[in-house]
Structure 1
């Protein structure tokens, strides 16, 4: 993983918005010369405030969310919307009703099936005033029925305009026409969560050994101010195309320390806030 050509491409990638989805499953050309040791060390520049998607805010949390969880849709490096947990979707003529069809083979990292009910639970949890989510208003922005009332505590969470028609069909009911819902549902706060795990462990459900996700990776260990280690999730529906075996995320804030570790071969991806003068210097030296 420390060959110059590979590091150069990663250094450039570290400064782009595509980093959020970098570690997830990918289509690798048949003639690609892959390193024997498929591990990535990535400096995300800070500790995540939480690994609970309904309580997340900020880029760092987003990096973690997109490895540990999978939303209804995802996107490529050009911003094109692609299937995620949902294989397809459709909308009514007035764009007020959206239906997402989930993958029947999607599983949580503990082997349980991912269902539309998991999304309903997560979104209701996001709207619940007791969750105190910094992004709860996103549901109102999405124009889900009764979102404003639920957020204000004037309606019950089960009155929110999202329903599981069956295990693999999620239906959204909106108050207004929103023709770009398929783009909005990529936000990490709309990640599904495993209800029984959340209820069993409470606030501790995001700790290593407890956290169950539906993404390409699962949480192996985490030491605040040191590192978080993610390992390949064997139950992920697209696991056959997951190339990396392990991703280590570092919380290094200092640009000088970040660059020193990079030049020493101790990390593969520098922090996104790398000063442009340091970037130019490193690029010249590669």
Structure 2
């Protein structure tokens, strides 16, 4: 992975900034000569980040957190001297091994520097989001990371932040699950491969007591992978599973023990890959 950026646009005049008096007395202002056909360009600013960006998050302190799967046990960002390697057991070789490569890093936009981070449980295809206080919360992942709750940051002046991981705090494995933020700033975690339930993201270090099982628990195992989910203006969650055997979506109140409301099939629904789906919130009754 490498980083690129658009060049900063310089010397673009602000209409009326230097002729405020002319505006007041009805004077004429010449419109700036904007270049309307410029499509922009990419600029390479860092040739090697060291970690593939399976997931990437921009933090409130203008730094970027990147993390990738740990299952391959190698990256292009080895831990520096003094940073301990991760101990893990190779079930195939029946041996204890060391992983001395970073699978997560923090990129500083201002200094163009990369700082390795430590992630112990596998966050491959986990789900995440920022809380109102600036904490990145990440649920689930693959294998040993399936039930892990992770926290990063939360302080704007944090210079040496690292991942805070709590294995087995989620009630169900959350691989390819979905997180959606609620009006109180908390997150609901929905579905995942072979997980036909939802639960609320726990407070740091706490254990989820009971998951809530969805009405689609008898559907195929792939139903709850990466569902389209958003909080509607009526404060209900709207969900479109990926990929369903038949198109459907539902609306339910996450804090209310009532059955979901089922809607008609979505017209023209097609199975899509992760990069191509998109949802938008609108006013509904």
TM more than 0.5: no
* Between structures 1 and 2, the one with greater strand share: 2
TM-score, normalization by structure 1:
0.26
Higher helix content, 1 or 2: 1
Q: Which has the higher contact order (CA 8 A, sep 6+)?
A: 1
